[in-house]
Structure 1
């Protein structure tokens, strides 16, 4: 699972605002947060960049942790 929702809320962003900044729809953000839709690496990088521009200090691994089984 990813941490998009957690970090988005820490930054005070709505799904609508994050979607606007990322160039996608609020519905897509909702699906990404719930893991219902796969994201391209480009979208992942864009979301991390937006979070960092807004004051979070996060990396791809912070937002999209790898699960080792």
Structure 2
């Protein structure tokens, strides 16, 4: 389970806005948010950089927390 949508919503940003900041189409981001696809390391870094560019200081571990730290 990832925290992309949670972090994105905390800063009041739409999927389309974050996707644009990363240089992707919204459906690609949606697939990652909904765990339909798993991003590679470079894509994870792009997600982090996109969120940071929109005002959300975060790390890969914030987006993809270790399994034992996931709160459901």
Q: TM-score range by the shorter chain?
A: 0.7 to 0.9
> What's the TM-score, normalizing by structure 2?
0.83
Partner of 1:31: 31
Partner of 1:64: 64
Structure 2 unmatched runs, 5+: none
- How many residues align structurally? 68
Is 1:44 aligned to residue 58 of structure 2? no
> What's the TM-score, normalizing by structure 1?
0.86
What is the RMSD of the two structures over their aligned residues, measured on CA atoms? 1.2
Equivalent-residue separation in structure 2 for 1:47 and 1:13 (angstroms):
13
